[in-house]
Every structure is written in C-alpha cells, then in structure tokens.
Amino acid sequence: MFSRQTRYLERHWGFRDMVDRARDNRQGPKIPSSAIFLSGFGMHARRLGSLNRLEAELRIPARWEPLVGERKPSAEAMGHALARWDLACLRGMLVEAGKMGKRKKVFRRLYPDSHWVAAIDGVETNRSRKRHCSECLTRKVKVGKEKKEVTEYYHREVALQLIGVTPVLILDVEPLLPGDTEVSAALRMIERVHESYPRFIDVLSFDAFYLQAPFVKKVLNMGYGVVIVLKQETRDLYKDAQGLFLAREPQERTPWVRGEAGYENIRWLRGETQLWDEKDLTSWPQLGRPVRVVRSLEQKVKRERIAGKWTEREVVEDWQWAVIFPDETEPPAELIRCWGHARWDQEERGFCELTMLWHLKHSYHH
Ligand SMILES: [Zn+2]
C-alpha cells in the first residue's frame, strides 16, 4: 500500500535513516519509536483523521506490517508516545529535508528572486473549555444567552515557512507558552533556526505587530533582512512615510493584465500598481538606524465567484512595508512587493497543504 511512496522517499530522501533517529522519552517502551513515527506518518499520508481510525486500520492483518513492522501501536500507545516525543529529532528531520531540498534544487521560484525569504505566522491548533494541560493558554469568553464568562483553554504556535517558492516548506514551529507573546515565541524560534540553518534564509517577513524595536534589533543582529507590514496604528513612521507619498509621484507605475494569484474562486483581471520607495526615514528613533518604506497602491479588477455566479468589481489595496537590512542590501521595490504578497498567498498554501493533504485539521491528542 505504501511501498511506492516509501521506496521513493528512501531512494531520494534517505527516509529510513531519518526514521531510525526518531526518539521519545517513554520508560521501557514495548513498541519502538520508529513504529510510532511510521504509524503517524501513514495516518497522515492516508488522511485517516484520528488515532482511533489508525488503530482500526492497524488491526487489519498484513496491511501495515511492511511499513510499521510487527509491533503495531494502539491509539492509546500512540497518544502516550507522541506526548513524550523528542522534538529535537523532529526538528532535525526538517532541517535535513530543507537542506537536501536546496541541494537538490527542488524549490521552484514563483517569481524571479535570488533571496531566500521566510515568513512567520501564528496558528491556533487546539481549543477546549474542559480539557487542559500545564502548557495551555487561557482566555475568558462569554457563552450562552446570559453571556456567562468561562475560561477557554487553547494552544497557539508560530511557524516559519519559506515563501515565494514551491513546494512549501515549514522550517520550524514553536508553541506560545503561558506568559509568552507571539513575538517572544517567534524570537525563540528564530534564534534556533539561526543556529540550525546557518545562512539558509536571507530575509524574514513579519506582520504589523512585530514592529517592535528590541525584537527587530535582535533579528538584524543575527544577519537577517527584515520586512514588516506597516499599518496606520503604528505611529510616526507610518505618518511620515504617508506625508512623503502624498507629496511625491510614484517611482514606478505598472499597468498589467491577467492575474497574479489564481485561487479557485478569485481571478485578478487587470489593474495598475504604483510603487513608492522612500529611503532613510528617521521617524523610528528607537531602532537607532534609518528605515526604508515601500508603498504599493494597487487598483485592480477582481473577478469573484460567489454562490456559483461570477461577478467583477474594482478594488484598491494600499500596502506599506518597513524594510530594514543589517547591511547595504537594497532589493528593488517590486521585489519587496512580491515578498509582501507571497506572505499572504503562502499563509494560505502552507497551512492549507497541511489541512488538505495531511488532514492536520485538529489536534489528535491533547
Ligand atoms: Zn493544553
């Protein structure tokens, strides 16, 4: 059943070697870690959707033995082992796959670029009002007609993934622990990525709330270029940039036809992109260095299918990004625009792939 897939993985990606290094921290386990890992792999590859489904499948004689071996885990054994999993070995597999991918030139560019750009995004993976653990985050929510306030437990992670290339690759994931902000969890992850993937990434792309001087300084010190969405609420820098953009003509004006993003129910038909590029803005003194701001004003015709009917309307998007590099690097404004858009496109595709192709729609075991 799996033989073609595992033969391919073995021949091209040294799968068996990776699997043999899988570890967990159970005391005196009866079922080897590799059998747990391969059962989990098979469960996701076949989109079984739950540990119980997996257990039922594993009981069918002679079906899973070629993949998993003679000792097959129950749903309970899977949950017990996975809760004690050695994450360093999993992250090591990601690093290896990423480096091999680059070496084998498997990443295809979505637009011409020589930089390696990664984006950080947050994702919520578990929510419950009953079950919780010591690492759950909590929030108050109002429920029912009486708006009674109850505690909700949830898990949230930040993930780092390559953008502007296909196939998608998630490089690392880090949970937000009680007391964390998304920014503090992201910093832990970036520090680890910096150590385990030296020179793998050139640029990191962030959402607006990462525009915090201490954080940005640390990321620049690790040698990464930084691109951050700039929004109105983020004060002086935005206002100053806005003043300059209003006073000047755009540096580039590019009419275009046909779409750049082709989702199933959305097409971009034609439009015009105007680009402004202002360097050496000094209105973010906390950072201690000048900031470049790129603005992309995009008028386009959006063709959208709603309830089976295609409609067209004109939309205007006004994007701005703060661009800061630790050195003299100055990528063209058009490339900054591509990175900014790839970020959203990729957020769809990265997590989308995990949910659609691997059935990671919910947490399988708290
Ligand atoms: Zn929990």
Report pLDDT digits (tens) over 19-71: 999 999 999 999 999 999 999 999 998 889 999 999 999 999 999 999 999 99
- Give me Rg for the CA atoms of the chain: 23
Kindly report whether the peptide bond that precedes residue 198 is cis, defined as omega within 30 degrees of 0: no
Question: Ligand 1 centroid to 365 CA: how many Å?
Answer: 10
Question: Ligand 1 centroid to 176 CA: how many Å?
Answer: 11
Residue type, 4: R
Size of the chain in residues: 366
Residue 4 backbone phi and psi in degrees, to 5: -65, -45
d(CA 350, CA 172): 12
Quick: pLDDT tens for 124-162: 988 999 999 999 999 999 998 999 999 999 999 999 999
Tokens of 173: 């994931």
Question: Ligand 1 centroid to 184 CA: how many Å?
Answer: 19
Question: Ligand 1 centroid to 131 CA: how many Å?
Answer: 7
* 172 close to 146: Cβ distance less than 8 angstroms: no
Quick: pLDDT tens for 183-195: 999 999 999 999 9
d(CA 272, CA 256): 6
Question: Ligand 1 centroid to 347 CA: how many Å?
Answer: 24
Question: Ligand 1 centroid to 126 CA: how many Å?
Answer: 8
Name, in order, each residue with C-beta under 8 angstroms of 18's C-beta and a sequence gap of 6 or more: 93, 96
Residue 345: what pLDDT? Answer: 66
Question: Ligand 1 centroid to 154 CA: how many Å?
Answer: 6
Question: Ligand 1 centroid to 171 CA: how many Å?
Answer: 23
- Exposure letters 233-257 (e unless 16+ CB within 10 A, then b): ebeebbebbbeebeeeebeeeeeee
d(CA 161, CA 197): 13
Residue by residue, pLDDT tens for the chain (366 residues) are 677 888 898 999 889 999 999 999 999 999 999 999 999 999 998 889 999 999 999 999 999 999 999 999 999 999 999 999 999 999 999 999 999 999 999 999 989 999 999 999 888 988 999 999 999 999 999 998 999 999 999 999 999 999 999 888 899 999 999 999 999 999 999 999 999 998 999 999 999 999 999 999 999 999 999 999 998 766 789 989 988 998 999 988 888 776 555 556 677 778 899 999 999 999 999 999 999 999 999 998 888 888 888 888 999 999 999 999 999 999 999 999 999 988 776 556 677 778 777 777 788 888
Tokens of 168: 């998608």
Tokens of 222: 């690790």
